[in-house]
Amino acid sequence: MEAHERILVAIDTADTKAATSLAQRVAGVVGGIKLGLEFFNATGPEGVRAVVAGKPLFLDLKYHDIPNTVAGAVRSVVRACRPSILNVHAAGGRAMMQAAVAANQETADAIGITPPSLIAVTVLTSLDDADLDSIGQYRPIGDQVVRLARLAQEAGCDGAVCSPREITAIRAACGDGFQLVVPGIRPTSSAADDQKRTLTPAEAVAAGADYLVIGRPITQAPDPVAAATAIADEIRASSAAA
């Protein structure tokens, strides 16, 4: 994969015009666009289609419901938005993930596209050990993350969203073919914002990340194209040196 193809730019806004203009500017220098709940709930599939305009899309909607409902959501969204990557919460359980995997494959076959990668969220990075305890989940967090990643893989999911500090453990548990999509990335020159445990793009790729979800270091940069290009250069230089 080319260095720039690993970059998924997170466009976090409810404004279709702003999102479209940014997506158009960076389209040639990143691998794809990540849109999430804020944008989808404001604009629906129509807004999503306007923004991505044929670019690979990671649609970050994190489904978590009974299997029948999640299967229906996957069918609807694959038809309406044709994402390259979509996700569910692994905590929804094996049957829910299996239903999502089956619905994803059937819908892709029916409309004649390559099935989107269906990846799992393990433990939200906003939760700590005390939070897990309060919702009655197994601790420590690192063990729970690996347990849910393995469950997602057994259920047929293609990969997981994970924080930089979880890459090594999930890669070791789930092997090379399991796609790891990693937010919490900060290039050497950028501010951490509200991200607490970050890795640089090159460090994350060296640790085993497949895709990097990068928002503000690109979207809030004075020149988003230059920022994305510098990130791709940083990844390329470090892979060449390795």
Q: Least distance from C-beta 238 to ligand C5P, angstroms?
A: 19
Residue 55 falls in the annotated catalytic set: no
Q: Tell me the C-alpha to C-alpha distance, in Å, between residue 106 and each of 59, 88, 186, 204, 224.
A: 19, 17, 37, 33, 38
CA–CA distance, 36 with 151 (Å, rounded to integer) = 24
Which residues sit opposite 32 in a β-bridge?
Answer: 8
Question: For ligand C5P, which residue has the nearest CB?
Answer: 215
In the list 74, 213, 230, 231, the residue contacting ligand C5P (rule: CB under 6 A) is: 213
Using CB under 6 A, count the residues that bind ligand C5P: 15
Report if residue 187 touches ligand C5P, rule: CB under 6 A.
no
Assess whether the previous peptide bond of 222 is cis (omega < 30° from 0): no
Interacting residues of 135 by C-beta distance below 8 A, sequence separation 6+: none
Report if residue 133 touches ligand C5P, rule: CB under 6 A.
no
Residue 54, Cβ density class (10 Å: 0-12 exposed, 13-18 middle, ≥19 buried): exposed
Report if residue 10 touches ligand C5P, rule: CB under 6 A.
yes
Report if residue 122 touches ligand C5P, rule: CB under 6 A.
no
Report if residue 125 touches ligand C5P, rule: CB under 6 A.
yes
Q: Tell me the C-alpha to C-alpha distance, in Å, between residue 206 and each of 79, 197, 200, 238.
A: 35, 16, 10, 8
In the list 23, 29, 31, 36, the residue contacting ligand C5P (rule: CB under 6 A) is: 36
Report if residue 163 touches ligand C5P, rule: CB under 6 A.
yes
Catalytically annotated residues: 62
Residues of this chain that bind ligand C5P (CB under 6 A): 10, 12, 36, 125, 161, 163, 183-184, 193, 195, 213-217
